[in-house]
Amino acid sequence: MYAVIHLPQFALQASLRLSPELWGQPVALVDPVRTTPVVLETTPPARDAGVERGQTATQALARCTGILIRHRAPARESATTDVLLQCAYGFSPHLESTAPGLCTLDLRGLSRLQPPEPDALQAWAQGLQSSLTAQGLRSHIGFATTPNLARHAAQSGMAVHVVTDAARFVASLPLAALEPSSDTTRILTGWGLRTVGELLALDPAELTDRLGLEALGLLAAASTRNTRPLKTIRPPEVWTESWDFEEPVETLEPLLFLLRRFTDSLCARLGLAGRAAERVDLSLRLESGNRLERQLNVPEPTRDAAVLQGLLATHLDTVRSESAVVGLQLTLETTVPVQRQFGLFETTLKDPRQFQETLGRIAAILGSDRVGTPVKLHQHGIDAFRLVPPEFEGVAALSQPRPALQAPGLRRLRPAPVATIESIDGRPSSIRCSIAHGRLVVTLGPWRASGRWWENGAWHREEWDATTLRGQVLRLVHQPDGWTVDALLD
Amino acid sequence: MSADTKIIELRQFLAERLPRARLGVAPERIVPATLPTGIESIDQGLGGGLPQGAFTELVAPGEGSGSAQFIHALLRHTASGGRFLTLVDGADSLDIDALEPEALAHLLWVRCRNTAEALQTTDLLLRDRNIALVVLDLKLNAAHELRRIPGTLWYRLSRLMEQHGGTVLVITPQPLVAGAAARIVSRTRLDHRDLERSPETLNLRFETEQRRVREAGARQTA
């Protein structure tokens, strides 16, 4: 059994996918590449106003003054094909991108559809259509025993069409469904043939004598048994949405409005693919030609659109640009979502979503490298750590509350202020820097350390602990490029 | 109607509208919920620890006041109880090398560059009802930045804490937090000899001052 998803008016659907409210308004899609752009597809209100395919844009405007003329955009059609394939992949792993707006699925191996009962197929198709509707796409789905028949069923105009009697269904198809050449169409029409059934009633040998090899092709296309291997593909794992504004945008609201749609669409597709976003790449194209690009790390991989929206809104609050925005692109870097089995007595967050949003907001203010749980790096060096997203589950309690280290902690100065040190007999005797100046009354040291001498990035330093007249206990560091104050005792 | 009658009616009216009010009788003793710090002198002085749902201010004046040692001790104690601490590090000065990895696993570290960032992130954290204990460390922040903090900010943050049940310890170089429920003043003076000592043997001296006792919310946070 095969299923074919058909997106009617594919080019127009691709154009209106992110603005579905325009289906209620007169819109005409024209191809700007042609010398005289003509209307390719229209919305129902435009058709009601008398706008038809083949009219020029001027004619369309004459018939409907309020019509919105949209240019066909191959990039949007390509993106819509990706969306179609990503949605379909959530329902069957064997799929073929048959043509723009057409996707064929092999249903073999889907246990819930074996045997293929019409009710089960209807329910399956409705689930698939819901996913596509969430992406702003209208679809027709056909089921049949061969890919060609399923395609004809999908293009029959019914939302879901299950072909149970293949011979009868084929016989009822119009001749145009077999896509004969224009010459053959003229001949067959001249014979008074209108349907495939009437064609099949003729003797195949005599038909071939009169029409040549094309007759064999038509009979093969009308066969209820001939099948073909699908050119199966995997949908691209590209999670990107983009938009070009017709007018430059200077305020935040239009951007947030569009980003909400982007994130809703992308997160729904991530759900079907079993992925979660771990990084958000936002690119704003400015009127000046420059781009504002920012990578936002998601504190914990998620496919919750609200979390991503909060993250983006917080970031955009802080964005200032020299000119208006004319386009934007949102790309999600994805990973496999973290699965955890909570213990019976483990403490968990009351509201993980709110916590992620809080972390995202803080990261937007400070930078994603400035919030998290510190993890020491396994290397010999001072202040070597990295920040990781906090884990609130399964973290063992500290067994011994007393300090395991034998020296008191300091306060690090980041960045370390540069100091001017005067020395007597090789020992620092006075200091001048942004946090201290004057004579040093006590100096202890030096303590020397080095590392990575076996490779690039070798370092060595000399540390002194010194006390100023005011009683400040400072850790002075002497490196080849001079003195700094790295820390103080407090 | 005599003045006495009016007073009696007023008392009856208030008793009906505000049943918890006790006019003319001694108020019930309210025992606030607390979060122990693990430092005996402070926990004893504050009746068990930091009052929940309220500000506590640790005033750490001058040099070597022991405020960093206090943060480390508080983190270790929190981690030993399996709980978590959020440190809003106003000047990004936490010494990671002085802490055990197991203790650091219980820390959410917010590394700020200035006072404005620290206050902004504290505001966000207090709106998150997942956060139980926040330490806002302003000890090394510039004096001119601290002077610019409006007094009303602390009241606004107090309202957030009452709503969400968070507990905040603010570390400042001088008294700063208006309306803090408790204040701890460091009398510690560390010098170069303390660099040779174990953190446990440091002579950390703190004085506590219970400023305002009020009922802490019964909310418990993770």
Q: Compare CB distances from A365 to B63, B68, B117 and report the shortest one's residue.
A: B117
Contacts of B199 in chain A (CB under 8 A): 403, 405, 407-409
For the stretch A346-358, pLDDT in tens is 446 777 777 877 8
Interface test with A, best of B96, B186, B191 (most A CBs within 10 A): B96
The beta-carbon contacts of A63-66 under 8 Å, at least 24 apart in sequence, are A64/A26, A66/A25, A66/A26
Task: Give a yes or no: residue A401 inside a domain.
Answer: no
Task: Give a yes or no: residue A24 inside a domain.
Answer: yes
Task: Give a yes or no: residue A71 inside a domain.
Answer: yes
Whether B53 and B141 map to the same domain: the answer is yes
For the stretch A164-217, pLDDT in tens is 888 889 888 888 888 888 888 999 989 998 888 888 888 888 888 888 888 888
Q: Give the Cα separation of A488 and A474 in Å (integer).
A: 4
Spell out the SS3 assignment of A4-38: EEECCCHHHHHHHCCCHHHHHCCEEEECCCCCCCE
- A337 vs A29, more confident: A29
Token pair for B56: 């506590």
For the stretch B103-162, pLDDT in tens is 999 999 999 999 999 999 999 999 887 888 999 999 999 999 999 999 899 999 988 888
Given A162, A194, A213, the domain boundary residue is A162
Whether A11 and A112 map to the same domain: the answer is yes
Total domains in the fold of chain A: 4
Give the distance from residue A399's alpha carbon to the nearest chain B alpha carbon, in angstroms.
Answer: 6
Give the distance from residue A439's alpha carbon to the nearest chain B alpha carbon, in angstroms.
Answer: 15
The enclosing domain of B188 has a CATH number of 3.40.50.300
CB–CB contact B105 A395 (8 Å) = yes
Among the listed ranges B133-137, B161-165, B218-222, which one has the minimum average pLDDT value? B218-222
Contacts of B85 in chain A (CB under 8 A): none
Q: What is residue A5's predicted lDDT score, i.e. its pLDDT?
A: 95
The pTM assigned to this predicted structure is 0.63
Whether A90 and A192 map to the same domain: the answer is no
Q: Would the pLDDT of B62 be above 70?
A: yes
- Three-state DSSP at B60 gives coil
CB-based burial label for A217 (10 Å; 0-12, 13-18, 19+): middle
Q: Give the Cα separation of B58 and B168 in Å (integer).
A: 11
Q: What is residue A405's predicted lDDT score, i.e. its pLDDT?
A: 61
Tell me the pLDDT band of A329, cut-offs 50, 70 and 90.
very high
Contacts of B221 in chain A (CB under 8 A): 350
Token pair for A302: 């998620």
Contacts of B63 in chain A (CB under 8 A): 470-473, 488-490
Q: Would the pLDDT of A345 be above 50?
A: no
Q: Which residue of A has its CA nearest to B196?
A: A407
For residues B41-53, average pLDDT: 88
Token pair for A361: 């907001």
Whether A352 and A477 map to the same domain: the answer is no
Q: How many CB atoms lie within 10 A of CB A299?
A: 23
Whether A60 and A193 map to the same domain: the answer is no
Place of tokens 């429920």: B181
What stretches of chain B adopt beta strand conformation (E)? 34-35, 50-51, 55-59, 85-89, 107-111, 133-137, 167-172, 182-186, 206-210
- Three-state DSSP at A476 gives strand
Give, as one character, the DSSP assignment of residue A228. -
Interface test with B, best of A411, A427, A447 (most B CBs within 10 A): A411
A113, A198, A201, A269, A395 from A204: Cα distances, Å? 36, 12, 9, 48, 76
In degrees and rounded to multiples of 5, residue A277 shows phi and psi of -80, 130
Token pair for A14: 């691709």
What's the maximum distance between 2 C-alpha atoms anywhere in chain B?
A: 79
Task: Give a yes or no: residue B1 inside a domain.
Answer: yes
Range of the domain at B6: 1-30
Place of tokens 């009601």: A48
Write the ipTM: 0.81
- Three-state DSSP at B17 gives helix
Range of the domain at A181: 166-221
Whether A94 and A203 map to the same domain: the answer is no
Contacts of A470 in chain B (CB under 8 A): 63
Please name the residues in contact with A312: beta carbons below 8 A apart, sequence gap of 6 or more. A256, A259, A263, A280, A282, A296, A330
DSSP string, A27-78: EEEE-TTSSS-BEEEE-HHHHHTT--TT-BHHHHHHH-TTPEEEE--HHHHH
Q: Give the Cα separation of B73 and B68 in Å (integer).
A: 9
Whether B113 and B206 map to the same domain: the answer is yes
Please name the residues in contact with A229: beta carbons below 8 A apart, sequence gap of 6 or more. none
CB–CB contact B80 A473 (8 Å) = no
Please name the residues in contact with A16: beta carbons below 8 A apart, sequence gap of 6 or more. A22, A23, A27, A43, A70, A136
